[in-house]
């Protein structure tokens, strides 16, 4: 605790008074001495001595004051640095979470998103924006909009940009043709970006392209695999398919312009592309190497073989209870693909199943029939159940997991979090793998609480002989930490980005 500066001033006056009193006494004593010359000499010497003492005392007090000031400054700096460290950790955690969200937006949302500075140079763009112009990233990033866009695209929004740079939010609609000659209806929004002084420093552009209505081409009934002899999975007819079709209002479209009839036609015709993302083992044991996993992801083929991301059509598929149809198609395709290209593979292929599939009592019989048609090992397939789906329907999830494991297939519980409902579920359900939620994984280097949760989940899983998989692994530093705490597998952009399944052929 710092003292009042007045204390040091009073001390200085007291010390000076004592010094002058001492001088006066010495001078009086000196006059009593007979030898006047000697007395004056003694007086001068004492005076010099006392002045020296006063000077030294003053310097000591000044030094003491400076030291106390420095102590106060150091304490203030320590507090400031402590606060800055807390803010930095919070900022890093927020940035990590935002990065994950941006990746989700970039990969899943069917919109063209970009940011331009006040000079109209592109400073950010997502995948769909790049895909529209059919350019590489370095051909867009840092370049003027009018440099990389064609005249029709730029001239149509020139006035919109002017209004946006004046501070207005602008909405626009127009029709453009893609580089392949297809007509698209564009809904666009332009949003100004202000700094702290309310000055415009750039703008955001949001473009939602929707294909114009036209007669769909005949279904080619297969997924494009890059081979001359495409696989033609045959899915068992679902008795509720006509009921599903009749329950959908006419002309109802999703926000991305994908109609319900279009989705049903795609399911019936197998017009989907399967992608995969590697799940790699972290604890390599030369004596007992762990197999590499591949999670199966799905994209829907649009006209001219353009791919629609899952975020654009899966919500619509779920809304009209078509997920069991789609899940059966994926399973049928994967089993035939494995029997054709991966007969000796030791990899495990993970397939997500929807909540409605968990309640499909005929799914296990469907799986049995599919496996009997081929020679592949049932352990090649692992079915992933979302934790929230299992908690919402525990009886269905437990029954599904038991039936699938009785067939010899594996089961994984995804997006596992550290809460009471999750732990209660883990005590009941029989699974082979536990996927730790990515929202915990991405923060383990910044948040001790999230790290403690991951360690606890991993320890509990290992006690009951379940292997763990970390989701959303983005950096080498996180990989090192996961190895350190003995997590078994890792999945994320830091391991591998999704790529077409046909690349594994």
**How far, in Å, CA of 437 to CA of 460, rounded?**
15
Q: Which residues contact 184 (CB under 8 A, 6 or more apart)?
A: 175, 176, 177, 178, 209, 210, 211, 212
**How far, in Å, CA of 436 to CA of 452, rounded?**
13
Kindly tell me if the per-residue pLDDT of 44 is higher than 70.
Answer: yes
Tokens standing for residue 235: 């899915």
**How far, in Å, CA of 313 to CA of 320, rounded?**
11
- 479, 282 Cβ separation under 8 angstroms: yes
Interval 453-496: pLDDT, tens: 999 999 999 999 999 999 988 889 999 999 999 999 999 888 98
> If you write DSSP's letter for every residue of 247-313 in order, what string do you get?
TSPTT-B-TTS-BHHHHHHHHHHT-EEEEEEEEEESS--TTSPPPPEEEEEEEEE-GGGPEEPHHHH
Interval 396-406: pLDDT, tens: 999 999 999 99
CA angle 424, 427, 432 (to 5 degrees): 125
Q: Which residues contact 415 (CB under 8 A, 6 or more apart)?
A: 386, 387, 388, 435, 437, 438, 471
**How far, in Å, CA of 224 to CA of 231, rounded?**
9
Kindly tell me if the per-residue pLDDT of 186 is higher than 90.
Answer: no
Interval 102-159: pLDDT, tens: 666 565 566 888 999 999 999 988 888 888 888 888 899 999 999 998 887 888 899 9
pTM, full prediction: 0.57
């Amino acid at each position: 605790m710092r003292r009042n500066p007045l204390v040091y001033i009073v001390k200085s006056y007291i010390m000076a008074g004592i010094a002058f009193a001492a001088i006066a006494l010495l001078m009086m004593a000196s006059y009593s001495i007979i030898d006047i010359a000697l007395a004056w000499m003694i007086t001068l010497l004492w005076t010099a001595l006392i002045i020296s003492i006063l000077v030294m005392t003053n310097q000591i007090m000044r030094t003491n004051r400076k030291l106390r000031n420095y102590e106060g400054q150091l304490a203030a700096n320590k507090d400031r640095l402590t606060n800055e460290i807390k803010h930095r950790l919070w900022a890093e955690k927020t940035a990590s979470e935002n990065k994950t969200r941006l990746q989700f937006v970039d990969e899943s949302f069917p919109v063209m998103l970009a940011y331009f500075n006040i000079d109209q140079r592109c400073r950010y763009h997502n995948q769909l924006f790049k895909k529209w112009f059919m350019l590489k990233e370095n051909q867009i990033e840092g370049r003027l909009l009018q440099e990389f866009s064609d005249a029709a695209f730029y001239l149509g929004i020139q006035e919109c940009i002017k209004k946006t740079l004046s501070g207005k939010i602008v909405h626009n609609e127009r029709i453009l043709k893609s580089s392949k000659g297809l007509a698209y209806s564009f809904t666009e929004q332009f949003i100004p970006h202000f700094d702290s002084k309310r000055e415009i420093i750039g703008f955001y552009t949001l473009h939602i392209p929707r294909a114009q209505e036209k007669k769909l081409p005949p279904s080619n009934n297969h997924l494009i695999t890059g081979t001359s002899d495409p696989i033609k999975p045959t899915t068992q007819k679902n008795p509720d398919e006509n009921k599903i079709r009749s329950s959908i209002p006419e002309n109802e479209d999703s926000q991305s312009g994908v109609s319900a009839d279009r989705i049903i036609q795609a399911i019936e015709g197998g017009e989907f592309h399967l992608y995969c993302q590697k799940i790699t083992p972290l604890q390599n044991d030369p004596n007992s190497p762990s197999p590499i996993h591949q999670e199966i992801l799905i994209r829907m083929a649009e006209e001219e073989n353009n791919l629609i991301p899952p975020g654009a059509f899966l919500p619509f598929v779920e809304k009209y209870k078509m997920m069991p149809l789609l899940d059966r198609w994926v399973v049928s395709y994967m089993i035939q693909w494995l029997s054709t290209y991966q007969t000796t593979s030791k990899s495990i292929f993970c397939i997500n199943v929807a909540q409605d599939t968990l309640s499909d009592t005929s799914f296990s019989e469907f799986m049995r029939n599919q496996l009997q048609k081929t020679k592949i090992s049932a352990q090649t397939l692992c079915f992933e159940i979302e934790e929230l789906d299992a908690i919402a329907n525990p009886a269905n999830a437990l029954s599904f997991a038991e039936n699938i494991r009785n067939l010899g297939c594996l089961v994984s519980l995804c997006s596992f979090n550290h809460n009471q409902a999750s732990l209660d579920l883990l005590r009941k359900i029989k699974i082979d793998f536990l996927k730790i939620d990515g929202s915990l994984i991405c923060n383990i280097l910044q948040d001790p609480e999230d790290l403690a949760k991951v360690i606890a989940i991993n320890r509990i899983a290992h006690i009951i002989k379940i292997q763990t998989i970390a989701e959303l692994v983005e950096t080498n530093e996180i990989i090192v930490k996961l190895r350190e705490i003995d997590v078994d597998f890792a999945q994320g952009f830091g391991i591998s980005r999704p790529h077409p399944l046909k690349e594994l052929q």
